[in-house]
Amino acid sequence: MDEFTIQETRKFPQATGDLSALLRDIGLAGKIINKQVRKAGLVDILGKHGATNVQGEEQMKLDVFANETLINILKNCTECAGIASEENDDHMSYEDTFSFNSKYVVLFDPLDGSSNIDVNASIGTIFAIYRRVSELGKPCTVEDFLQPGNRQVAAGYIIYGSSTMMVYATKLGVNGFTLEPSIGEFCLSHPNMKCPDNGKIYSLNQGNTVKYDTGMNAYLNYCMESNKEEGRPYTQRYIGSMVADMHRTLIKGGIFIYPGDKSNPNGKLRLQYECNPMAFIVEAAGGRALSGKGNIMDIQPTELHQRTPVFIGSRNMVEKAMEFIQQ
């Protein structure tokens, strides 16, 4: 992966190599988190940590480990001015001369899908990289973290599944790297990933149907209705771990939805830590990511832990869903 990233950045004569180094450091954090995830059940890392995060959700021990690993690695590298994490109340600006002069900030969900940890299902780390807008030479500021998703420079995820993979996107495209455990390297296994224009899978928490509005329910009926020519009914798949559901969507096509509902009009998923990075990846792969009111990546964030409804995946499926949603 490191070699590939360096070759890619060479396509830009003005590139300094900072972005490649940052991606390598995030990959390193992924390897350390992976090592711990793979020991779950053998060492005392399963279960609850005993605290709740800023969203009032109970933190698992691995959530805390993953968060601290990313914070420390990015603090000690020279390319990151600061971070914002789904697990922390505020952004963190790194207070040293190297960091003051670093041009990138990173936002991440250190361990997404953590309710899956104890049952051995896939979980993942999601990250988004932005060029800071605050003045170089000084600490980064909250404005650096409140940029719309369309200003991302790169985004990606690491999935701890049947194998461990790091998938990242830049404006040049999306590439996937599988961790070769015997040499500890991410190796290019999924070059130039493309999200199919159509798919046969819809993915959402259908248990919430009673809370969905009429447009959303009409779309669900459309997915379940029989139409041989159009390949319906679609198949329903939902793991409850966005990284795992999105990884499948990226490879096989389909639509992943976390809509707003009567009790939570903005849904559950976080704009900056989950939806924007996934939107950047999927759109770089030819797919589509909408909120029901427009492009996810055009939303101007006003707070760090903002939520948004999300409809994301195969271009034609997402656009079809909008015919029901925007009624």
Binding site for ligand AFP (CB under 6 A): 57, 112-115, 205, 240-242, 268-269
Q: Which is nearer to ligand AFP, 80 or 204 (CB)?
A: 204
CB atoms within 10 A of CB 226: 7
Q: Which is nearer to ligand AFP, 80 or 158 (CB)?
A: 158
Buried-state track 38-59, b at ≥16 Cβ within 10 A, e below 16: eebeeeebeeeeeeebeeeeeb
Cβ at position 108, least distance to ligand AFP in Å: 13
Cβ at position 273, least distance to ligand AFP in Å: 9
Cα(40)–Cα(37) distance, integer angstroms: 5
Cβ at position 5, least distance to ligand AFP in Å: 26
Order of strands, edge to edge, in the sheet holding 92-93?
A: 92-93, 80-85, 104-112, 123-131, 152-160, 164-170, 173-180, 185-190
User: Do residues 167 and 291 make contact, with C-beta atoms less than 8 angstroms apart?
Assistant: no
Q: DSSP alpha helices (H): ranges in 45-143?
A: 61-76, 97-100
Q: Which residues lie closer than 8 Å to 274 by C-beta, 6 or more apart?
A: 86, 109, 112, 126, 242, 310
Assigned token pair, 202: 């819809």
Cβ at position 61, least distance to ligand AFP in Å: 14
Q: Which is nearer to ligand AFP, 81 or 84 (CB)?
A: 84
Cβ at position 150, least distance to ligand AFP in Å: 22
Cβ at position 48, least distance to ligand AFP in Å: 12
Q: DSSP alpha helices (H): ranges in 78-162?
A: 97-100
Cβ at position 264, least distance to ligand AFP in Å: 9
Q: Which is nearer to ligand AFP, 94 or 219 (CB)?
A: 219
Q: Which is nearer to ligand AFP, 77 or 255 (CB)?
A: 255
Q: Which is nearer to ligand AFP, 179 or 246 (CB)?
A: 246
User: Do residues 272 and 107 make contact, with C-beta atoms less than 8 angstroms apart?
Assistant: yes
Assigned token pair, 266: 């903005």
Rg (Cα) of the chain, in Å, rounded? 19
Q: Which is nearer to ligand AFP, 179 or 242 (CB)?
A: 242
